[in-house]
Amino acid sequence: MKPSLWSILATSTTLTFAFPSGAQSEDAAAAKATFDGVNKHLDLGGQLYAYLNVKGDFDSLAGKVQELYQEVLKMSEGNAPIPPNLDIPKLLQEIGLHNVDALGMSSIKHEKGYRNRAFVAVNGERTGILKLTGGPARPFQIGAFAPATADLAFEAEIDLGGLKEALQGIGNQLEAVMGVNLIEPNLDQPLGEFPMTVREVVDGLKGTAMAYAIINDTQRLQLPDDITFPAIDFVISHDRGRPFFDAFGKVLAENAPPEAIQRETVDGVSRIIISPPPQAAMGFFKPVLQVTEGSDQLLFASRAEALTTLTEGDRLASDATFQKYQAKLPKEGNGFSYTSEDLYKLIESVLEIVEREEPQLADVQREIFDAFYGAPQNMASMWANLPEGVYSETYAPMSYKLTIVYAAIVPMAVVGAVSTPMIHQLR
C-alpha cells in the first residue's frame, strides 16, 4: 500500500529538520552592525525587547524546503498533488523575504499605555509583499484633511504591485513546469459584475487613501428588537479613484432599482447618491460617491451631510490632543492612524447591547475588552519606509508583550466561556 501524503510530509519533515540548517553565520563585527542597525530604532528597558537576526538564513532554509519537496515527490511515487521540477527557492524569493536581514520590536511604558516600536531591516530593494508598504516616506496629510471632530482618522499609501508581481512570478514558474500559467489569465478576468479586471483594480488602487469617522452625538441607528447605538459619519478619499466612480456607476445602473440611485452634476461636481429603502434599519446612511472635474480624487461618504466636514470647521491638526500625539511621532511616513478616546464610549455602548442580549457572555467580553483597551485613551500609530528597512511606532493601551500573551490565552478563555453554560445545560 502506498503511503498517504500526510505520512510522506511527516516523514520528510523529520528527515529534513533533523539536520542543522547550515546557514552561514555572520562574523562578530557584521553581526554587531546588523544588531545596531535595528537597535537604534527600538527602546530598551521596557515591557518587551525582541531581536532576531535572519541574515544569510534564506538560502539555507529555502534549500532545505527544496530537499523536503524532492523527498515528498520521491516518496509519493508520482502521486503527490504538486507539480515536479519546481524551483522552490525562486518561488519563495518571489514573495520578497529573501533580503530581510533582521527584525526587532520593543514596548516601553508611556503615560496610560505603551510606546511600541518595530523595525524590519531590509538589505537592498523591497520586493514582493514588502512593497505593500508603498514608496518613499512623505509628509503626512491626514491632519489637514480630517476635521477636528474626527474620532478616527487614517491615511495610507496603497501599492498592491508587489503582490501582483509575486503572483506573476509564481505563475511563470508554474507555466515552465506545467505548461500552463494559472495566474496571468485570472488577472485579466472581471471581478464578477464589477466592470474592471483584477489587474485594473490592483493598478487603480495604487495611490494615497485617507479616511475619517465621526461618532454622531444626535443620531442613533435603529436595529431590530429596539436596539440602538450611535450613528457614525465617515468620509473616504482616494487620490486616483476616478475610474472606480465610473465603474461603480455602471454596476449600480445595471443592478440597483432606478429609484435607489440619483446622479447629479453641479458646478463640475458629479455625485452618485444611493438611497436605501425607507424600511431599512440603517436608514441613517445615504452613501455618496463624488468626483470633481479636473481631479482624479474619489470621495465616498456615509451621506451628503458628511461631505460638509471636508471644508467646514477646524482641521484635526488644530486639535490639542492630536497635536500632542503627532509631536511624538515622525512627521513623514507611509501610513498614519489616530483614534480618539470617544471610540471607547462607542465600544461601551455595543457591549451594553451584548450584555442585554447575551448576559452569559457579558462578563467574559467585558474582561477581554478591559484587558485589550484598559482606560479610555487616545491612540496613534504610523509606519514608514526607510532606506534601511520598514519602521513602525504605536502609542496604544497594550504592549507587544500583552498582545502576544492575550493572543495566546484569549481564544481559550472565549471557548471556555461559551462552552461552560452549554455543558451546564446539557447536564
Residue 3 has pLDDT above 60, yes or no: no
282 versus 152: the higher-pLDDT residue is 152
Mean pLDDT of 153-173: 86
**How distant, in Å, are the alpha carbons of 49, 280, 369, 383, 419 from that of 112?**
20, 41, 16, 22, 34
Residue 1 has pLDDT above 50, yes or no: no
Q: Specify the pLDDT at position 212.
A: 98
Q: Residue 22 — pLDDT band, cuts 50, 70, 90? A: very low
Q: Residue 161 — pLDDT band, cuts 50, 70, 90? A: confident
First-to-last CA distance in the chain?
45
Q: Specify the pLDDT at position 20.
A: 44
Helix (H) or strand (E) holding 211: strand 207-223
Q: Specify the pLDDT at position 422.
A: 47
Q: Specify the pLDDT at position 262.
A: 92
Residue 11 has pLDDT above 90, yes or no: no
Q: Residue 221 — pLDDT band, cuts 50, 70, 90? A: confident
Q: For the chain, what percent of residues have pLDDT higher than 90?
A: 44
pLDDT digit string (tens) for 197-207? 988 998 999 99
Q: At what angle do helices 342-357 and 359-373 cross, to 10 degrees?
A: 160
Residue 227 has pLDDT above 60, yes or no: yes
Q: Specify the pLDDT at position 281.
A: 52
Q: For the chain, what percent of residues have pLDDT higher than 70?
A: 80
Q: How far apart are CA 194 and CA 257, in angstroms?
A: 17
pLDDT digit string (tens) for 316-328? 999 999 999 999 9
Side chain identity at residue 246, one-letter code: D
Please answer whether residues 15 and 8 qualify as being in contact, where contact means their C-beta atoms are separated by less than 8 angstroms.
no
Q: What 8-state DSSP symbol labels residue 132? A: G
Residue 250, C-beta contacts closer than 8 angstroms, at least 6 positions apart: 195
DSSP per residue, 272-335: EEE---TT-TTTT---EEEEETT---EEEESSHHHHGGGTSS-BGGG-HHHHHHHHHS-SEESE
310 versus 19: the higher-pLDDT residue is 310
Indicate the burial class of 211 (C-beta count within 10 angstroms; 0-12, 13-18, 19 or more): buried
DSSP per residue, 142-175: HHHHSBTT-SEEEEEEE--HHHHHHHHHHHHHHH
Q: Residue 231 — pLDDT band, cuts 50, 70, 90? A: confident
Residue 373 has pLDDT above 60, yes or no: yes
Mean pLDDT of 90-98: 83
Q: Residue 357 — pLDDT band, cuts 50, 70, 90? A: low
Q: Residue 39 — pLDDT band, cuts 50, 70, 90? A: very high
Mean pLDDT of 7-17: 42
**How distant, in Å, are the alpha carbons of 265, 328, 358 from that of 347?**
38, 26, 16
Q: Provide the CA 199 distance to its chain's centre, in angstroms.
A: 20
Looking at every residue in the chain, the average pLDDT score rounds to 83
Q: Specify the pLDDT at position 185.
A: 84
Side chain identity at residue 418, one-letter code: V
Closest C-alpha to 389, from 122, 97, 40, 104? 122
Mean pLDDT of 228-235: 86
Q: Specify the pLDDT at position 276.
A: 78
* 395 DSSP β-pair partners: 115, 380
Q: Specify the pLDDT at position 83.
A: 72
For 104-122, the three-class secondary structure string (H helix, E strand, C coil) is EEEEEEECCEEEEEEEEEE
Mean pLDDT of 394-413: 78
CB burial readout 154-166, b (16+ within 10 A) else e: bbbbbbbebbbbb
Rounded CA Rg of the chain: 26
Please answer whether residues 196 and 190 qualify as being in contact, where contact means their C-beta atoms are separated by less than 8 angstroms.
yes
Q: What 8-state DSSP symbol labels residue 131? A: G
The grid cell for 82 is: 504538486
The grid cell for 309 is: 466636514
Q: How far apart are CA 423 and CA 427, in angstroms?
A: 6
346 versus 131: the higher-pLDDT residue is 131
Residue 12 has pLDDT above 50, yes or no: no
Residue 345 has pLDDT above 90, yes or no: no
Q: Residue 158 — pLDDT band, cuts 50, 70, 90? A: very high
DSSP per residue, 244-263: HHHHHHHHHHHHS-GGGEEE
Please answer whether residues 20 and 79 qualify as being in contact, where contact means their C-beta atoms are separated by less than 8 angstroms.
no
Please answer whether residues 164 and 81 qualify as being in contact, where contact means their C-beta atoms are separated by less than 8 angstroms.
no
Q: How far apart are CA 393 and CA 381, in angstroms?
A: 6
181 versus 301: the higher-pLDDT residue is 301
